[in-house]
Structure formats: C-alpha cells, structure tokens
Amino acid sequence: MKTVTAGILVIGDEVLSGRTQDANTQVLAKALGAVGVQLRESRAIADDAPTIIAAVREMRDRFDYVFTSGGIGPTHDDITAEAVGAAFDAHTGIRDDARALLDAHYGDRINEGRLRMARIPDGASLIDNPISIAPGFRIENVFVMAGVPKIFAAMLDGVVGTLEGGDTVGEVSIPSPRAEGELSAPLAEVDARHPAVSIGSYPRMRPEGGFAVTVVARSADREALAAAEADLRQMLAGLA
C-alpha cells in the first residue's frame, strides 16, 4: 500500500472572523481522494506573514503535498505569495511570464494593484487560472491557489492530474435508524475483526428529533472493505 498525504492552509481573516465558511477543504478532499492523495490536515490561519511562513514550513515537511487557498489577490492584504516564497527562502517579485498573462487579459486596465498578482517566487511554476487569469503557483511540494471557491476549484482541476497519487481509499456509508450508543459494542467487535479497515460512526440529529447514525468504513484494500461492509450490514440487520 502506498500512502500519499496532503494538507491545506486556508489563509485569510474571513474564515476566522466567522464572516464566511471555508468551502475549499471539502472540494480539495474529494479531488485528492479520487487520485489517491489523503488529506490529513486543514488549517485556517490569518493573513499574518510569520504565521503563514511557520505553517508552510511545518506542513511541507509533514505532508507530501501542501495546498494554500487565499491571499494572492491585488490588494495590500494579499501577502501569501511573499510569505510562501519566504518559507522557501526564495525571492518573490513580479515575473515576466505572469505579467504577460495579466497584460494580455487586462490590456490598458492593467494597474499597479493588478500587477501584484504577477508576484511569483523564484523557481516556482505557474498554475493556470481559466476564470480570472491571475495565476497560482507551485513551488516544490506547495501549491498556492486562489481563495474564491470557483477559482480554487478551477485551478485544482488543472493540478490534480500532475500529482503522484498512492492507493485510493474506498468508502462505504451505511445509514442506520439506531442511536449511536446502541451500536457501540457490536461496532467495536466488527472493527476489531477488520484491522485493515477504518470504521467510524457519525451521529446526526433527525429533523423530527432524536438521533440516527451513519456508519462509514474506509480502506485502500477493496477486498478487506467488502468483507467489513458485509459484516457491518449483517450486524446492523441483526439489531433492526
């Protein structure tokens, strides 16, 4: 089994102030999962250079890939590009290839602010932005992308094919009308019988009151997953 891991840094005060809810983690998790990359951490942090630099350094050592979202726009509070550059001790300045994209797109509407979006660390390669043109970039194992969800998703579309994934993890979801507390003993027994499968349970509130549960089994080993699923279904049917 080959395990390839990733983390995401969600950069920007808007998630931490409660203004918005981060949507990029979920999109990334699903896209990475499909190509055999397991998302292991999602960390939302503020637009603060020392915080960004420390988090990038820590996560790029711990994970095979790191993604960032946010902070690469045209305004003074967009400091992600320089901060990621600094995390790699790389100089960040306006680069000709990125500038050419912006010049072609904006024509005479180009200005100093928009040129900020051509700031790319030395040694980085550009990530295509089919929606608003201003590129993201990849430097070593870190992918720096836009925060606006549609642009993040579009950049990701162009990037996932370039990743070297490992084994994909299969997932089986089985809803049950039982309360989670009635399942705990039999669920633990099934779990113990299938060491290659990760089995979890997620309670949910019913609209009409009370709780139901969804049992989720995950494994990169499809044979083991199928065996666990059969065992789980039998256990749940025996309770009903």
Q: Which residues bind a second copy (CB under 8 A)?
A: 10, 12-23, 25-30, 33, 38-47, 73-77, 106, 109, 111-114, 116-117, 132, 148, 150, 169, 171, 173, 180-185, 187-188, 191, 198-205, 211, 216, 218
What is each CA distance from 27 to 42, 52, 152, 157, in whole angstroms? 12, 22, 9, 10
Quick one: CA torsion of 210, 214, 215, 219, rounded to 10 degrees? Answer: -150
Contact indicator for 140, 125 with CB cutoff of 8 Å = no
Q: How far apart are CA 134 and CA 111, in angstroms?
A: 13
Q: How far is the CB of 181 from a second copy (least distance, A)?
A: 4
Nearer to a second copy among residue 123 and residue 130 (C-beta)? 130
Q: How far is the CB of 124 from a second copy (least distance, A)?
A: 21
Q: How far apart are CA 67 and CA 142, in angstroms?
A: 6
Nearer to a second copy among residue 177 and residue 203 (C-beta)? 203
Coil, helix or strand for 44?
A: strand
Q: How far is the CB of 140 from a second copy (least distance, A)?
A: 23
Nearer to a second copy among residue 123 and residue 177 (C-beta)? 177
Nearer to a second copy among residue 21 and residue 89 (C-beta)? 21
Q: How far is the CB of 121 from a second copy (least distance, A)?
A: 20
- Give bridge partners of residue 73 from the DSSP assignment: none
